[in-house]
Structure 1
Amino acid sequence: MRQNTERRTALLDAAIEVLAREGSRGLTLRAVDKEAGVPTGTASNYFAHRGDMLTQVMRRTRERLTPDEAALAERMSAPRTLALEVQLMRDLVERMRADRSSYLAMLELRLEATRRPELYEELSGFLREEFQGLIAYHREVGMPGDDLGVALLYLAMAGLLVDDMTIPDILREPYDVDSLIQAMVPRVFGGPAAPDRPAGPSD
C-alpha cells in the first residue's frame, strides 16, 4: 500500500506526544489516530503493529532532536576549546528543553525496551551507534580531551538531563544546570575552568 510521507511523519509526531504524556501503556494505534486528528484505523495502515510503531518513533525522536546542520556548522567555526565544549553542552540542554516531548518519549522507550527484547535489541544498537558516533565526531573535529573524557561527559550529561527534564527543581542554586555544565567540562577533561559565557561564533 502506498503511504503518504507527510501523513506518516504526522502520525509519528502524534505518537511522540501520546508517549510523552500518557506513557507506553497509553500508546495505542487508536490513541495516535485521535492525537493526529485522522480517521480511526489510519495508523494501522502505516504501522504493521505496535512494536513497529515504537521502533519508528525511536528514529523520529532522533530526527527531531538532532541539531540543525547550519547552526552546528556555525557553532563549530569557533576555536576548539573547553569554552566551546561548554557551549555545545548548553546547546544540547536547550535543544532537549525545546522538544521535551521527544526527550520524554525516548525515556519511555528505554523503559519499554526492558520489557520488549525486540525493542531492546533495536534501541541498544541504535544508541550504541550514536554513542560511538559522538566519540568519533569529537575526535575528528579536534575537540580537546580524549575518548574516555567524551564517554564520561556523555554519562554526566545524561544524568543531568534526566533531572532537568523530569524534576527540574532538584537543580537549583547553587547547583543550577548552567553552573554544573561550566564546572563539569573542565573537570572531565582536566583543563582550566571555562569562562562564564564563551563568545559564540558570531559574537
Structure 2
Amino acid sequence: MSRRNLLRDAAIDVLGGQGSRALTHRAVDAAAGVPTGTAKNYFPTRDALLGAVADRCLERFREAGTLPTAGPAGRTDLAALLRGLLEEATGPGRTRVLAYQELHGEAARKPWLGKVLAEISAADFAAMEQLQRAAGLDVSPQRAAVVTLAVHAAIVDLLAHPADVPNGAGLDDLAGFVEGLLDVVYPR
C-alpha cells in the first residue's frame, strides 16, 4: 500500500473513530504509525486532508463495490441484501460509515467537499435502483429513492443508538424492518 493511501485510510479511522474535531495531521500520523509531519507533507491543510478522505471514500466505494455487482434473484434476496448492508454498516464497516457521516457534516459548511460526496451518492442511488430492478420489482426512480433514503436513515439511526436502547423505528428487527420497507414501497 502506498504511503498516501496509508495516510488516507488512517484519516478515515481517525475521523470515524474519534470524530471531525479529532482529525488533525498529528492524529493521522499517529494512526498511520509514521513520523510526525508526514501527513502534513502530503496534505498541507486540514481541507486538503478532508478532501483526501473524501477522495479515498470514493475510491473505496468504487473498488470494493459497496453494493454487490450481481443483482438479487428476487424480493427475498433483496431483503437479505439490504439487511446485510445495515449489518455491515453498523458492524465491520462502522468506522468507515461514521467517517462518511462526519464528512457530510463538514460538507454542510464546505460546498467543495459536497461535490465529491455527491458523486458517491449518485453512484449509490443508481446501484440501489439497479438492485431493486434486478429483484424484479416495479421500480420507478421515486420508489428506488425512497428505499435508498430509508436505508441511509436507518444506518444513521442505528449508529446513533446504543445496542441496549430499544429502537422506536423497528430497527431492533432488521429483517422485519427491511421486509416492512419493501412491503410499503412495493406492495405485493
Q: TM bucket by the smaller chain?
A: 0.7 to 0.9
The aligned residue for residue 83 of structure 1 is 76
Displacement of 1:91: 1.8
CA deviations on 1:19-44 (whole Å, 9 max, x unpaired) are: 12322121011110011111011112
CA distance in 2, matches of 1:170, 1:67: 35
Displacement of 1:95: 2.1
CA distance in 2, matches of 1:157, 1:72: 16
> TM-score, with normalisation over the residues of structure 1?
0.76
CA distance in 2, matches of 1:13, 1:21: 12
Question: Does the 8 Å CA contact 1:61/1:103 hold for their aligned counterparts?
Answer: no
Unmatched runs of 5 consecutive residues or more in structure 2: none
CA RMSD of aligned residues (A): 2.7
Displacement of 1:101: 0.3
Query: What one-letter code is carried by the residue in structure 1 that aligns with 2:177?
Result: L
The aligned residue for residue 171 of structure 1 is 167
| Superposed counterparts of 1:50-199, under 5 Å | 50-64=46-60, 72=68, 76=71, 79=73, 81-96=74-89, 97-136=91-130, 138-139=132-133, 141=134, 143-146=136-139, 147-167=141-161, 168=163, 169-171=165-167, 175-191=172-188
> TM-score, with normalisation over the residues of structure 2?
0.81
Question: Does the 8 Å CA contact 1:64/1:102 hold for their aligned counterparts?
Answer: no
Displacement of 1:87: 1.1
Considering only CA atoms, is the larger Rg found in Structure 1 or Structure 2? 1
Question: Does the 8 Å CA contact 1:171/1:177 hold for their aligned counterparts?
Answer: no
Query: Matched residue of 1:72: which SS?
Result: coil
Give the total of aligned pairs.
182
Displacement of 1:189: 1.2
Question: Does the 8 Å CA contact 1:20/1:108 hold for their aligned counterparts?
Answer: yes
Match of 1:18 among 14, 17, 27: 14
Question: Does the 8 Å CA contact 1:82/1:186 hold for their aligned counterparts?
Answer: no
Which one is further off, 161-170 or 104-113?
161-170
Question: Does the 8 Å CA contact 1:163/1:170 hold for their aligned counterparts?
Answer: no
Unmatched runs of 5 consecutive residues or more in structure 1: 192-203
> Is the alpha carbon distance of 1:100 and 1:110 closer, same or farther for their aligned partners in structure 2, counting shifts above 3 Å?
same
